[in-house]
Amino acid sequence: MRRTQVLLTALLALAGSVLADNIKLQQVDRKISLNSQFVRISETVKVKNVGSSAVSEVILCESLGGDAVLSFYKVVETSSKHALAVSPTTVADAPAEVACYSVKLANPLPAGETVGLTVTAVLANAQMPYPAEITQTDTQLMLYKGNVYVLSPYSVSSQTTEVALPSSTVKSYTEEKPVSKVDNKIKYGKYDLVKPFAVKELSVHFENNKPFKHVLTYVKEIEVSHWGNIYVEGKYEIKNAGAKHTGSFSRLKYGHMYNGKANSFRDLRAVLPSSAHSMYYVDLIGNISTSNVRKSLASTVLDFDLRYPLMGGWKVDFTIGYSVPLAGFLTSTKGGQRRLTMDLSSPLEDVFIEDMVVRVVLPEGSANIKASLPYDMEQSFDIKYTYLDTTGRPVLVLHKQNIAAPEHAAKFSVDYDFNKVHILREPLLLVGVFFALFVAVIAYNRMEFTITRDEKWEAARSKEVLATYMEQIQALLEDEATVLAGLTRATNQVRDAADVDAAQREKANVEKRLKDLEEKVKPLLLAVESRSVRVAAQVRDVLEKTRSLQGRYYKQLADRIDLVKKGTGMSEVSRKLAPGQDALNAAKRELEGLTTTVFGAY
């Protein structure tokens, strides 16, 4: 067992050294751009396989000095422009502060062949302010420390390096011949036959008044509502990470300074989706009005100014939010899930984000939440309670550090299940609350709150019971009136002898129904009598008048039948019956008046 272990390690060591021998970098052209707060390195590498077998992996390295952070690293095959898979690795004899990556080639490189690779790397915090503190009127000088030669585990046959600076003011730079400075470019090269990991410090001390915009913390919250809106809110804490400001700050002098204003900055730009609306730019104090919005087909550009200009080392915090409609962001996938696609990083241009948290708040009832991200991030879950929530909304929390603005602008998507029924949770909650209020009213009306039951309470109770009976009697009287109206209609339809039988049948029907109603009234009347004799007398009066009115109706019908049987014409019939009809109507009105008087109080 031990012998195999020793053998394996020996083999690996051999493999390591073999790896370094069978690849040579024929030509490396490197461009280091110091033209902003980032150090952007672009290398075109020609890799030659000088070994005997095909090679599928190449190791490329970058030197990181001090606090530098490699926030972006991408390798592309020059001819096909295919991005290649890159994974961090360690190389045995690499010097300190070197980050190495193992690049997997698209096709294995046969012996004797060459392949061209293009490397893009973005370093943040690689420029040190030197001096570290400046006064208001000083210009900002930065110190960049790198390596003159391209650090590589392989030997490099020929290489050139070009350093691009923001201005032509350079205090000092490493003079390793051949070197030449033209305007704001320093050209190093060409160097032949450099050994692997040849270390020679490249140090450039130059003027860089570009703003060093660092976002210390950035929290982005995306809240999805299936009723038609996505809220996006970003909370920022921004710091000027350039040379620290020391001494006094004179607003007057600041206003009169030349256009550059050294390393201070106040303006920022955010590029938002084109359908963004309802934007707000606020901080703890309130709304900040120094902002401007331009809409175009491709995007919405928000130019905004901070509350005050940031000198070196100063910081400020604010919140920017907007809303977008669902169209273009929320789609349904083939598997029946819902997919939310949004921008992952900050919409701000040209910033370096030290700590970013993205919170995706999905509606209640979402399940099986999965995110597909363009780069590695820490994932966790949380719960948020907001409008009309019962169990809380699931929140997907993504966390990443050291993000450089333009390179990390990418979209991400979150897939989740959502049963359509869950969208009804909110309205049903509202319905439930209103219904509970009504039920409370119903319950209250059925409760008795008097403490002592004395005569006053008894009197009120008996009046209530009386009113109950009177209401019921009144309802029955109304039914009677309806029946009698039917009889009137039947009466008016008697035109000749043939209709008489129908009319007689109708009359018999009406008589029967009226009799039924009378039966129902009897017990009620007795009950009323037991409570109040006076009221009972009034009711009896009304019933008497009702009966006499019924008699008029019957007489009217009988008269009409007689006239029709005699064969009189219609106009004659109407004329003869008119006085009877008028008397009937008068009696009816009188009865209605009496009913209202007697029953109106109940």
Partner 1 sequence: MTELSISSPVSPSLYPTLATVLLGSGLCMTGSFFLYEVTKTKSNRALRSELLLAFISALLLGFGTLFLLLWVGVYV
Select the span of 83-91, 253-261, 424-432, 578-586 touching partner 1 (CB under 8 A): 424-432
d(CA 474, CA 539): 10
Q: Which is nearer to partner 1, 132 or 424 (CB)?
A: 424
Stretch that binds partner 1, among 25-33, 173-181, 433-441, 499-507 (CB under 8 A): 433-441
Q: Specify the residue, 420 or 515, whose C-beta has the smaller distance to partner 1.
A: 420
| Contact yes or no for 114/48 (Cβ under 8 A) | yes
Distances 338 to 228, 366, 388, 392, 460 between C-alpha atoms, Å: 14, 9, 22, 19, 64
Q: Least CB distance from residue 434 to partner 1, whole Å?
A: 4
Least Å distance, CB 190 to partner 1, is 49
**How is residue 94 annotated by DSSP?**
P
The answer to the question of residue 7 lying near partner 1 (CB under 8 A) is no
User: Exactly one of 66, 88, 328, 593 binds partner 1 (CB under 8 A); which one?
Assistant: 328
Unique residue bearing structure tokens 């319950």: 443
> 10 or 431: whose CB is closer to partner 1?
431
393 in contact with partner 1 (CB under 8 A): no
In whole angstroms, the minimum distance from the beta carbon of 225 to partner 1 comes to 4
Asked if residue 228 binds partner 1 (CB under 8 A), the reply is yes
Positions of E strands within 141-184: 141-147, 156-164, 170-173, 179-182
Q: How many residues bind partner 1 (CB under 8 A)?
A: 43
- Of the pair 472, 568, the CB lying nearest partner 1 is at 472
User: Which range binds partner 1 by CB under 8 A, 29-37, 244-252, 309-317, 460-468?
Assistant: 460-468
Distance CA 46, CA 79 (A): 11
Segment 461 to 490, residues that bind partner 1, using CB under 8 A: 464-465, 467-468, 471-472
368: left (phi over 0), alpha (psi -120 to 50) or beta: left
Question: Looking at beta carbons only, is 227 or 381 nearer to partner 1?
Answer: 227
| 351, amino acid identity | V
Instruction: Say how far residue 196 (Cα) sits from the centre of its chain.
Output: 52
Per CB under 8 A, contacts with partner 1 among 570-589 are none
Q: How far is the CB of 346 from partner 1 (least distance, A)?
A: 23
Tell me if 445 contacts partner 1 by CB under 8 A.
yes
Exposed (0-12), middle (13-18) or buried (19+): which is 235, by Cβ within 10 Å? Answer: middle
Planar angle of CA 203, 206, 209, nearest 5 degrees? 135
Output the CA torsion sign for 284, 285, 290, 293: positive
Q: Rounded to an integer, what distance in angstroms lies between the CA atom of residue 553 and that of residue 271?
A: 87
Strands (E), 241-314: 244-245, 265-273, 277-282, 291-295, 299-310
At position 313, the amino acid (one-letter code) is G
Q: Does 332 help bind partner 1 (rule: CB under 8 A)?
A: yes
C-alpha dihedral sign at 251, 253, 259, 264? negative
Q: Does 330 bind partner 1 (CB under 8 A)?
A: yes
**Nearer to partner 1 (CB atom), residue 422 or residue 576:** 422
C-alpha–C-alpha distance, residues 352 and 400, integer Å? 12
- Please identify, using beta-carbon distances, which residue of 471 and 572 lies nearer to partner 1: 471
Q: What's the farthest any 2 CA atoms get from each other in the chain?
A: 143
Could you say which of 53, 435, 453, 502 contacts partner 1 (CB under 8 A)? 435
- Please select the residue that binds partner 1; options are 258, 381, 434, 449, rule is CB under 8 A: 434
Binder to partner 1 among 257, 326, 373, 598 (CB under 8 A)? 326
> Which one among 95, 110, 247, 427 touches partner 1, defined by CB under 8 A?
427
Based on the shown chain and the rule CB under 8 A, indicate whether residue 227 belongs to the binding site for partner 1. Answer: yes
- Of the candidate spans 262-270, 290-298, 435-443, 518-526, the one that interacts with partner 1 by CB under 8 A turns out to be 435-443
Q: What tokens does 318 get?
A: 């604010």
Both structure tokens of 517: 């109603």
CB 102 within 8 A of CB 152: no
Shortest approach of partner 1 to residue 331 CB, angstroms?
A: 4
Q: Where are the beta strands (DSSP E) in 386-439?
A: 393-404, 411-418
Distance from the first to the final alpha carbon of the chain: 107
Of these, 147, 174, 209, 225, which contacts partner 1 (CB under 8 A)?
225
Contact pick of 421, 442, 447, 498 for partner 1 (by CB under 8 A)? 442
The three-state secondary structure class of 581 is helix
- Report the C-alpha gap between 44 and 384 in whole angstroms: 49
* Residue linked to tokens 């204003």: 261
Residue 8 vs 439, nearer CB to partner 1: 439
| 41 neighbors 106 (Cβ within 8 angstroms) | no
Task: Choose, by CB under 8 A, the member of 221, 426, 480, 506 that binds partner 1.
Answer: 426
For partner 1, which residue of 11, 13, 282, 439 counts as binding (CB under 8 A)? 439
x/- string (CB under 8 A) for partner 1, residues 333-372? x----xx---------------------------------
**DSSP conformational letter for 51:** S
The interface with partner 1 within residues 275-304 (CB under 8 A) comprises 278
Beta-bridge mates of residue 395: 361, 382
List of residues contacting partner 1 (CB under 8 A)? 225-229, 231, 278, 323, 326-328, 330-333, 338-339, 387-388, 420, 423, 426-435, 437-439, 441-442, 445, 464-465, 467-468, 471-472
